[in-house]
Chain A
Amino acid sequence: MSMNERTALITGASRGLGRALAEHLAAEGARVVLVARGRAALDEVVDSIRRRGGEAWGVVADVGDPEAIERIAGQAAALAGPVDLLVNNASTLGAVPLPALADAPSGSLERTFAVNLFGPYRLTRRLLGAMVLAGRGVVVNISSDAAVEAYPTWGAYGASKAALDHLTRTFAAELEGAGVRVFSVDPGEMDTAMHAAALPDADPATLAAPAVVAASIARLIQSAPAGARLSAGEVTA
């Protein structure tokens, strides 16, 4: 199925990888619904995609808020039609500078899981049914190498992403034969605001540009097998 037949919903789409993905998918012809918390930044991205001839809409919402899920799904379908590509990209690091697990402020682990795990879970289950009905659909969960390696101070973020990877595999097992692919991607280290917040001393020259990673993920959307956990850096053109 080519990208110009797809309707995509991308969370965390006002900056970083989410923005790059929305721009890339729109340029390939997908209708894109962008979700982000801040209206001004979101409107700016939506307008810039439209100026280049893309079809884009913005929904202001926090995926960590359970009440927001139905609003996101309803507005997206009303504006762009049934969603058949979901990219769960929105993430939070939690408290920054990143604290050791035992030193994390009370409630910060819960907030990290709300945004990185429960939000993607709720949005996926809300949108999955229409994909199963249509017999086609893709759900991409953005993961991290911190889901696999135990880096000091990355515990809350890493645990949320490890759990997201496991949800990915379980969804894939349950949906075998239903025509819907769910997979996760480790985008690698990118030159984004989130990376700068976590590791302010990193040399940007050593980091991948989000646009390059977005192009790799766009190729995986067409080809990645269900249940896979892939690295964007290993995708070749």
Chain B
Amino acid sequence: MTAALRAESGPRARPEGGRLLAVDTRSRRWRDQSMAELPSLLAPGDLLVVNDAATLPASLAGRFGGRDVELRLVSDAGEGRWWAVAFGEGDWRQDTDTRPPPPAMGVGAGVRFAGGLRAVIGAVSGRSERLVRLDFSARGPALWAALYALGRPIQYSYLDGPVPLAAVQTAYAGRPWAVEMPSAGYGLRLSVLAELKRRGIGVARLTHAAGLSATGDATLDALLPLPERYEIPAETAAAIRGASGRVIAVGTSVVRALEGNLRRHGRLTAGAGCTDLVLRRGMSLAVIDGLLTGMHEAGESSHYDLLEAFAPPSLLAAATAHAAVAGYRAHEFGDAALLLPGVLSGRAQARGFRAKTRLKRPRAADSIGSKPAAAHHAPTSRRS
């Protein structure tokens, strides 16, 4: 009988950043650690890559055709226009899947929001009539001010109360691009980031517009994740090319950005882009060696399936069962897991890993070449 992971039901004051299940995907062992101990699990030369997108006030309460509706922003289409998913009446206590549908929104119809903001339906997606483009009455600074005045973060029905926008931010949040919090880094405290750097462990950033986790529409849910925009700074691309150790993604949005970028361009290329890469079992990863991720239940979310790109299903199931018994908490505000080959082998092993990588990796000035990832990865071509 397998115990289920319990959800962490709200943002908690946990100065230590929560628990961390370190899973060695090479030796197939795991160990209970804490987020504060992350620096001791990594070695100089390793590189952590985080998604620094801040979480948007993406949930907008509005009025349409005499009814209350909620519009959840999906992506910025520029010039004061946003794609959004529409929901009918209801609030955060109600599961997204059981919310009533919104009234049909035709092109040209108007939505009114608090504070005088208005939008016209500029387009309706061919994929779902609930996916609409809002052409707002304001743009630029005025639109941002209005969104921050009226919007709230997207809420979750498993929480014990509504959460404010400040509670759904990572410690290093920058530009507000994410529709939902890039929660894998939720437990990464500033003191841990500073300690990583002091130890010579790299921490690099990219910005990825992490999207909706659920839309309340089976047709749309089947399309998730929708293509998402990202930006890789030149210094991050250089840090990945130059990493002498392992490259660890903090969250699957980072994996999607980096591996998607590589597949699109043939080599890791700094700058802005859009990724439609979907992670799946057995996918060979060319850039990323390991993953720091939030805790997720098997079968509960499509997110769990993404983890199979990093560890075999039997190991994931066993480690998750351990986490449930050991009282780890799941979801946005819960605990974390580090899936990394060799993570429990000690620092000597980590150095050996680096030496091997360095020997095998062709070094081109403008390319990350064809770095073989961890030992358990089959040799891969970056030009697939």
Chain A residues at the B interface, C-beta cutoff of 8 Å: 57-60, 67, 69-71, 73-75, 77-79, 81-82, 125-126, 128-130, 132-135, 174-175, 177-179
Chain B interface, DSSP helix/strand/loop, else mixed: mixed
Query: Once the chains bind, are B205 and A59 in contact (CB under 8 Å)?
Result: no
Query: Once the chains bind, are A175 and B54 in contact (CB under 8 Å)?
Result: no
Question: What are 20 A-to-B residue pairs whose CB atoms are below 8 Å?
Answer: A57-B141, A67-B164, A70-B148, A71-B148, A71-B165, A74-B144, A75-B148, A77-B54, A77-B174, A77-B175, A128-B190, A130-B173, A130-B174, A132-B193, A133-B52, A133-B172, A133-B193, A133-B203, A174-B191, A177-B194
Chain B's closest residue to A134 (CB) is B205
A116 to B211, CA, bound (A): 37
Query: Once the chains bind, are B176 and A82 in contact (CB under 8 Å)?
Result: no
CB contacts (< 8 Å) of B52 on chain A: these are 82, 130, 133
Set B50, B148, B191: member contacting A74, Cβ < 8 A: B148
Bits for B47-68, please: 1 = Cβ < 8 Å to A, else 0: 0001010101100000000000
Q: How many residues of B contact A (CB 8 A)?
A: 31
Chain A interface, DSSP helix/strand/loop, else mixed: helix
- Number of A-B pairs whose CB atoms are under 8 Å? 85
CB contacts (< 8 Å) of A57 on chain B: these are 141
Chain B residues at the A interface, C-beta cutoff of 8 Å: 50, 52, 54, 56-57, 140-141, 144-145, 148-149, 164-166, 169-176, 190-191, 193-194, 197-198, 203-205
CB contacts (< 8 Å) of A128 on chain B: these are 190
A125 to B191, CA, bound (A): 12
Query: Once the chains bind, are A69 and B166 in contact (CB under 8 Å)?
Result: yes
Query: Once the chains bind, are A74 and B203 in contact (CB under 8 Å)?
Result: no
CB contacts (< 8 Å) of A81 on chain B: these are 174-175
Set A75, A125, A178: member contacting B144, Cβ < 8 A: A75
CB contacts (< 8 Å) of A78 on chain B: these are 144, 175-176
A212 to B141, CA, bound (A): 31
CB contacts (< 8 Å) of B173 on chain A: these are 73, 77, 126, 129-130
Query: Once the chains bind, are A129 and B57 in contact (CB under 8 Å)?
Result: no
Query: Once the chains bind, are B148 and A130 in contact (CB under 8 Å)?
Result: no
Set B54, B145, B165, B175: member contacting A60, Cβ < 8 A: B145
A60 to B142, CA, bound (A): 11
Q: How far is the CB of A20 from chain B (nearest CB, A)?
A: 22
User: In the complex, given contacts A78-B144, A130-B172, what are 4 additional A-B residue pairs having Cβ atoms less than 8 angstroms apart?
Assistant: A70-B164, A70-B166, A78-B176, A126-B169
CB contacts (< 8 Å) of B144 on chain A: these are 74-75, 78-79
CB contacts (< 8 Å) of A74 on chain B: these are 54, 56-57, 144, 148, 165, 176
